[in-house]
Every structure is written in C-alpha cells, then in structure tokens.
Structure 1
Amino acid sequence: MNRPDARGSLTYPETGATRHGPLPDGYHHLHHTVRIGRGRAAFEAAGAAVTEWGMHRGSGARVRATADRAEAGVGVQIAVGAGPLRLIAPCEVIWAVYEKDRTGFAYGTLTGHPECGEEAFTVDLHDDGSVWFTVLAFSRPAAWYTRLAGPLVPVAQRLYARWLGRTLRGIAAAAGRPAG
C-alpha cells in the first residue's frame, strides 16, 4: 500500500456535515452509538486510540497516514482484506476535535475510495462518568463493486461500526485496570 502523500480530490461537496449537520439527502446515513467504558482514564485512552489510528489498527485494518494524529488535512489510507481482495480507502481528515469531554475526527473520501461521503468517529465523556463512542456517516457507492453490492454495503458499514465499538471497549477497559 502506498503512503498517502499525494493528495487526491474530495469526492463529495457536503464537507463537514458530520460535524455541523444535518446529514445530506441522497446518501445512506449511519449513526451508531455505544457505551464503551467509564471514567476519565477510559475516555482518554479511547480518544487517543481514535485520533492516533489505534482503533482502526486494533480492529485489524492497515492504516497509513501523513501524520501520527488526526488533524484537518491529514491524508489517510485504510486497508482491509488481503491480497487481491484488499480494499484500499483513501481519505482526508476534514475536522478534528480535542476538547475536555469530546475527542474525535472525521475523514472524507478521496478519488479512488469505493464510497463517496464522510465518516466521523467521536468519544464523549458524559457528566455521569460514562464514556460513549459514536460513528456518524453519510455515504453512497462510488465504485462499480459497491454499486453492485447494493444493500449489503450499509450492512457491512454497520457491522464495522460495531466492531470498532468493541475494539474501543477493550482499549477503554484496559485503561481502567491496575498495572501488574
């Protein structure tokens, strides 16, 4: 997989809609939220895993990025699968947030991505101490094989969002355990 140094073009005009809303019409919408832990340590560990690519790597995806941390303008390639069945998804970080009780980012699809749209990954620490992970996305097929897959693509996206949540739950749980 090549390093994502050469910048492609974003493949959709509604840049930033995952941050400010509403999600645009004409796309499949995904909104998945799951509780992943409790406390500041869990929040910080999960936030770092999201914004430093550990969540994706922990889920089994290969990640190449132009920076170690998500910031607007960073190029990212996510690859899943193996050999000729490897799917490579070039993206660019659209926005990132690093706040006291909210951490995350969104990336948008670049030319060559099998989908067209934007996906956000955020971790929130609520007042009651619970830590929540959210995936918010809008997308539509951009390649012949995603058009051919039709309704299977949104199902796969939901399954992947759940898998990312399980991955983060494990990271958050490990942060709350005493060393030793």
Structure 2
Amino acid sequence: MNNPQLRRPSDESLQRFLDAQRGLVFTYESVGGTAPRGELPAGYAVDRLSVELGRGGELFEAARRGIEAWTQFDLGWCEAWPRESPIRSGEVVAVVARSLGLWWTNATRIAYVVDEGGEETLSSDLPLRSGIPPLAPPFEGEGSRARFGFAYGTLPGHVEMGEELFLVEWDRVTDAVNYSILAFSRPRHPLARIGRPLVRRLQRRFREDSAAAMLRYVKNAAQSTKRG
C-alpha cells in the first residue's frame, strides 16, 4: 500500500497488508539506533521532541497507559492499526495517515520496548537485515528514573526508512514526567523523495500533534481521578 488511496483502507485490507509484511526484514541497518546505547546513523534526518506532561508517579502511570493505548497516534488524521496492538517486540503495526485528500498506509515493526529500566531487549529471532547482531538492553536501570516506551522501525511497505522512539520518563528527583520522540528517517519510495518538503512538514506536524494528544490524555486522566 505504498501508493496513496482515495478512501481509507478497510480493516480487511489492512490485515492482509500486515500479514504480507510480517516476515519481512527492516529496511534500514541501524536497528536500535534510537536507544541510548545505540548510534544514530549518518545520512538520515534526525528529529527530536520533548515535552513535560506534568509531575508525579500517578501521572507517569497515566502516561504509560496512554502509550500502551497508542494515544500518541490519536490524531484524527493519523492512526496506528490495529489500535489494540500490544506493545511488545516484533509486533507489526500499520500507520494510516490522511494527507492532501489521500490515504497512505505504512508498515512498521516494534524493534524494542523500554519498561522502567530496560529489562527487555531487541528480540534476537526477529527477521533483521543480514549482518546485524542482537542488541544489548537499550536502557540501563537507574533508580532515579522510570521509563516506558518503544521504538518501531520501517518495513518494505513504508515510504520512508528509519526508526522512531516514543518514551515517557519520570525523573524521581525533579518529579517531572516527560514525553519524548526521537527519530531518524530518509525517503525510500520515489514519492517520498519527490515530495520531501511535504513529508518533512508532516513529520513535524505528527510530533507536535502527538505531544498534544499525550497532554490531553494525562489531563483527562487527572481530572477523572479527582472526580473519582
């Protein structure tokens, strides 16, 4: 589904698309490059965003639930499908977005998961590009911080190639809870190369809208707690 469509793809066609992508390899070599002990590759655009969501352990747990529910994709014009996909290494997820009146569908796979100190590593049985060794744990445990998130990487059914990390982090010293995105990407499909300025604008819009969605989620969660 690298070619745009006039209508949103049906759930049935999205499932067929993901089934066809499931056994394919990542389209980039620096798998895990967004992890703290990873290395961002040369030749890619690198994007970062960080926003404070609030303070305290309860808010961190709410932010964690938001990530687990794919709230950062609850944007109206962009969604993760299926929405109930579990956050676990190897899970294949479609990113469905609408731009310029057309629907675009891109395939991704969760490369690694971070869970309050990084006990989970990149799965060694994932179909990687040849020559890529299994990764060490992407995060080391730190008693002063709690973290949760994941990074996904692009599959052949994606117009770009690269990796993106979504992370919520609670600093127990300052009590601040932050949501951050770290990504590296470059065009793979001819349309992505031709329309590079538009793609870059959409990537920036996604980061900003994603942060706004997370802020709304934790705000609503806090209000629900107060009412309860």
* Residue 85 of structure 2 corresponds to residue 71 of structure 1: no
The aligned counterpart of 2:171 is: 126
The aligned counterpart of 2:192 is: 146
* Residue 191 of structure 2 corresponds to residue 164 of structure 1: no
The aligned counterpart of 2:62 is: 45
TM-score, normalised relative to structure 1: 0.90
* Aligned-pair CA distance for 1:66: 9.3
- Determine if contact 2:70/2:83 at 8 Å carries over to the other structure: no
The aligned counterpart of 1:88 is: 105
1:24 aligned partner, one-letter code: P
2:32 aligned partner, one-letter code: G
- Determine if contact 1:107/1:120 at 8 Å carries over to the other structure: yes
* Aligned-pair CA distance for 1:83: 10
1:25-82 alpha-carbon deviations (Å, 9 max, x no partner): 01000111111222222211212221332321x2222322496321110000010117
- Determine if contact 2:169/2:179 at 8 Å carries over to the other structure: yes
Bigger shift: 105-114 or 156-165? 156-165
Point out the structure with max Rg over C-alpha: 2
Number of aligned residues: 179
CA distance in 2, matches of 1:68, 1:107: 13
Bigger shift: 58-67 or 137-146? 58-67
Give the share of equivalent positions with the same residue, in percent. 32
Where does structure 1 lack aligned partners over 5 or more consecutive residues? none
Bigger shift: 81-90 or 123-132? 81-90
* Aligned-pair CA distance for 1:151: 3.1
TM-score, normalised relative to structure 2: 0.72
Question: RMSD over aligned Cα, in angstroms?
Answer: 2.0
* Residue 154 of structure 2 corresponds to residue 109 of structure 1: yes
- Determine if contact 1:42/1:172 at 8 Å carries over to the other structure: yes
